[in-house]
Amino acid sequence: MNKFILCVLIAILTPLGFTQTYVASHDFSIRNGNPNGVWSYGCMTANFDTLSLYQTAWTPVTNHHQWCTQTRPDYTPCIWKNMGPVSSDGVPSGMLSLHPCPGNEPSVLRWTAPQAGTIAVRAIFSSGDRGAMAIAVHYNGRQLWSENDQGVYNASSMAVNVGDTIDFLVYGGYSYGNTPLEVTIWYK
């Protein structure tokens, strides 16, 4: 998606009265380190208690920018962005995808609050590959929402303190596990 169109969409979709906006796919980078500003990319243990940041950033194919772990030969779990002009592995152009590890270990996109305030959150999980995945949103380690395969999480008003975390997780399956995800967070 071209940058101008993304900026116009953000402006149109930003709730009235909200000012600071964070868009996960727009902010994603394999060049800015991990964590990357307010965003962290990693995997968790199956009981959701420990986040391990991905240490490897690479481009496995021309149009995929990816954070992953090298402990598995297929470089999963991971988070990646489809930088190509067309859909790839069930992931539309410009979208992020989370791919879990086998054994119910989730791949995680984490947002960490840089300041106290009131936020709104919209997370859109789409069906990607053919695999059946579990999806969830956690706030400071507590589950707020979960679904299977796809769904939309909306919170129109949520109070946060500096350092609070919101995790967006994909887990519960493995084969063909690419799950497109778009997350937007606004400060009031």
**Residue 124, token pair as written in the block:** 């859109």
Q: Is the peptide bond prior to 92 cis by the omega test (within 30 degrees of 0)?
A: no
Q: Which amino acid belongs to residue 26? A: H
pLDDT of residue 61: 72
**Residue numbers of the domain that contains 127:** 3-187
Q: Which residues of the chain have pLDDT under 70?
A: 1-18
Yes or no: say if 179 and 99 are a contact pair by the CB < 8 Å rule: yes
Contact 102, 113 (CB under 8 A): no
- pLDDT at residue 6, as a whole number: 47
Q: Which two tokens stand for residue 15?
A: 């709730």
CATH of the domain at 10: 2.60.120
Q: What's the Rg (C-alpha) of the chain? A: 15
Q: Judge contact between 57 and 30, C-beta under 8 A.
A: yes
Using CA atoms of 162, 42, 96, 69 in order, give the dihedral in degrees to the nearest 10: 160
- pLDDT value, residue 5: 53
Q: Which residue has the tokens 């400060």?
A: 187
Query: And the tokens for 188?
Result: 């009031």
Instruction: State residue 7's pLDDT score.
Output: 46
Domains held by the chain: number: 1
Distance of alpha carbon 59 from alpha carbon 105, whole angstroms: 23
As a three-state string, the secondary structure of 155-179 is: EEEEEECCCCEEEEEEECCCCCCCE
Q: What spatial distance separates the first Cα and last Cα of the chain, rounded to whole Å?
A: 26
Q: Tell me, what's the pLDDT at 13?
A: 52
